[in-house]
Structure 1
Amino acid sequence: MTTEPAQQPTVSVTVIGLGNLGRVLAAAFLEQGYRTTVWNRSPAKADDLVARGANRAATAAEAVAAGELVIVCVLDYDTVRQVLTPAADALRGRTLINLTSGTPEPARELAAWVTGQGAEYLDGAVYAVPQTIGTPDAFVLYSGSSAVFETYREQLNLLGAPTFVGTDPGQASLYDIALLSGMYGMFAGFFQSVAIADSAQVKATDITGLLVPWLNAAAAALPGFAAEIDSGDYTTATSNLEINAVGLTNMLTATKAQGVGVDLLTPLQTLFERQIAQGHGAESLSRAIESLRSSR
């Protein structure tokens, strides 16, 4: 019995920027049989990909011209502009997906510039380490052209589970800032925990073995907090702000007694106290967000 050969993908792909992530992005397309062109300011970074079948472009303009779908993954948005400005004429009729980390306003400015050159634009934020690209552990948020997202969903699936978060090109970056803020907040709590343990000669690995399951259990409260925040109803019969403020004050006092700094958690205590001073002590812990919200 014979089998039909796999159909060669018809979309040509270009990857500009061959750092740790860019190289893996290009490899993901090569492995699926896509005609893939690569370019990097340091040409040697393309050597391995070329050996595996990629086409090496001599210039960024040549790289853009070679791909129907152009993916950019470089250091920052300024670098994107530096790389693409000499290739502006080649952008017309192309689709640019920018997976460079950045912030909302530069994303909007870049989208306006790219569409001004006659190209389509989609901005993305990648949640993966390079080794997990193309696996169920990776996901990517996109914003900008919904038509581009739908047209190239098959190709986007190769990189990680794609989610479209809005037509504002800056929206993916805004989501990125929000998600990374949660991550860094977790890291701050981890560092505080380890410092307290260390003050009593408890190993970081020992306290972390207990901390990880505790944090996983505590994370189960977040969807409930989110529902309270969205509804604006902070009524609670359990863990209110007053109780938590007392508990946190006791923690900070004990931490100081151990000779450990409290810089990481003092701002949280300030948020609690601000809401209590406004008469909200009996309401849910989640109400602390009201001290952070911008006026609407």
Structure 2
Amino acid sequence: MSVELSAGLSAERQSKASVTVIGLGPMGQAMAGAYLDAGYAVTVWNRTAARADELVARGAELAPSAEVAVAANELVVLSLTDYDAVFAVLESVEAVVAGKVIANLGSDTPERAREVATWLAERGAGHLTGGVQVPPSGIGSPESSTFYSGPVELFRRHRAALEVLTGADYRGDDPGLAQLYYQIQMDLFWSSMGGYLHAMAIAEANGISAEEFLPHAVATASLVPRLIEFYAPRITAGDHRGDVDRLAMALAGIEHVRHTAEASGVDGALPALLAEAFGRAAEAGDGAASLSVMVGRFRAAARAR
């Protein structure tokens, strides 16, 4: 740290375990708060400085610039919306990133995570990709979890600090892996939540309240873990026998959902997307196969475009 950039940091702060947190949306605020609770010296920075007010009142130090914030500590946690925001910050602090370890906990694609890691490596800095699996309310709980990937030696060096936030699930050296695991989790999450909200729209259109539908929604959702456990070994083995379910049945079922939605005055686009995909697979000869055959069909459709 240069003399100029380290000016103002007390000896007491420099003797503590320390971390910088950049990005003070709800997630970043929760992260900085967890570090304060754990006794860390915390430096924070955000484009809108007022978001740091409560953290400063609790003992955090607000840096006057992103450059000063990055210079303050070896470990820098980024909690930013996407990697466009990440690059905007990193390019503004390029002069001081050498020797730093950037724990990048925002969301974007695996390829963009690799781009950031390469950019930092070319400038003498380390990069750990993180995919946080909980909302801000889960930060600070060891039962929560975050995917990490990147150089294992950096992960080991900073694991204790990372585990202040959540449990740490290391996936491997490839910096894209943490984002890959995160995005496939989010694929399942958003698809599931979209299905619930769409079902709720149909329910309300027909006079059924969220409270009335609640136990039935939970009962249906509780089937999903068991179905995933059933399908996973079959998918691994390439076993798509239609001995338990058939794609043609699923296609008929989703079409009934679409018709019910439209008859209720609810947008039928969501079930129509699935009906289109299932229909293409059935027309290609998979109607008698298990629904699990769609794993390969989704991949084939992308290659055909």
TM-score normalised according to structure 1 size: 0.88
Of residues 20, 34, 52, the one that matches 1:14 is 20
Are 1:235 and 2:241 matched, yes or no?
A: yes
AA partner of residue 221 (structure 1): L
Aligned residue for 2:222?
216
Secondary structure in structure 2 of the residue aligned to 1:128: coil
Query: Contact 2:142 / 2:163 at 8 angstroms: preserved in 1?
Result: no
Are 1:68 and 2:74 matched, yes or no?
A: yes
Q: Provide closer, same or farther for how the CA distance between residues 250 and 130 of structure 1 changes in structure 2, counting only shifts above 3 A.
A: closer
Structure 2: distance between partners of 1:9 and 1:282? 67
Aligned residue for 1:3?
none
Q: CA RMSD in A?
A: 2.3
Q: Provide closer, same or farther for how the CA distance between residues 118 and 193 of structure 1 changes in structure 2, counting only shifts above 3 A.
A: same
Unaligned runs of 5+ in 1: 1-7
Aligned residue for 1:101?
107
Aligned residue for 1:181?
187
Deviation at 1:121, TM superposition (A): 0.5
AA partner of residue 285 (structure 1): L
Q: Provide closer, same or farther for how the CA distance between residues 122 and 281 of structure 1 changes in structure 2, counting only shifts above 3 A.
A: same
Deviation at 1:160, TM superposition (A): 0.8
Deviations 1:84-122 (A, max 9, x none): 223222211111111122222222211111111111101
AA partner of residue 235 (structure 1): R
AA partner of residue 191 (structure 1): L
Query: Contact 1:11 / 1:68 at 8 angstroms: preserved in 2?
Result: no
Of residues 187, 191, 195, the one that matches 2:197 is 191
Query: Contact 2:255 / 2:271 at 8 angstroms: preserved in 1?
Result: no
Question: Percent identity, aligned pairs only?
Answer: 36
Structure 2: distance between partners of 1:94 and 1:259? 55
Deviation at 1:41, TM superposition (A): 2.1
**1:135-150 alignment runs, 5 A limit:** 135-150=141-156
Mean alpha-carbon deviation: is it higher for 77-86 or for 13-22?
77-86
Aligned residue for 2:175?
169
Secondary structure in structure 2 of the residue aligned to 1:265: helix
Aligned residue for 2:49?
43
Are 1:113 and 2:119 matched, yes or no?
A: yes
Deviation at 1:258, TM superposition (A): 4.0
Query: Contact 1:194 / 1:208 at 8 angstroms: preserved in 2?
Result: no
Query: Contact 1:235 / 1:283 at 8 angstroms: preserved in 2?
Result: yes
Mean alpha-carbon deviation: is it higher for 247-256 or for 126-135?
247-256
Deviation at 1:222, TM superposition (A): 1.0
Secondary structure in structure 2 of the residue aligned to 1:174: helix
Deviation at 1:220, TM superposition (A): 1.5
Of residues 225, 247, 270, the one that matches 2:276 is 270
Deviation at 1:255, TM superposition (A): 4.2
Are 1:58 and 2:61 matched, yes or no?
A: no
Structure 2: distance between partners of 1:118 and 1:205? 55
Alignment: residue pair count? 289
Q: Provide closer, same or farther for how the CA distance between residues 250 and 142 of structure 1 changes in structure 2, counting only shifts above 3 A.
A: same
Aligned residue for 2:37?
31
Deviation at 1:254, TM superposition (A): 4.2
Deviation at 1:228, TM superposition (A): 1.9
Structure 2: distance between partners of 1:222 and 1:148? 34
Structure with greater proportional helix content: 2
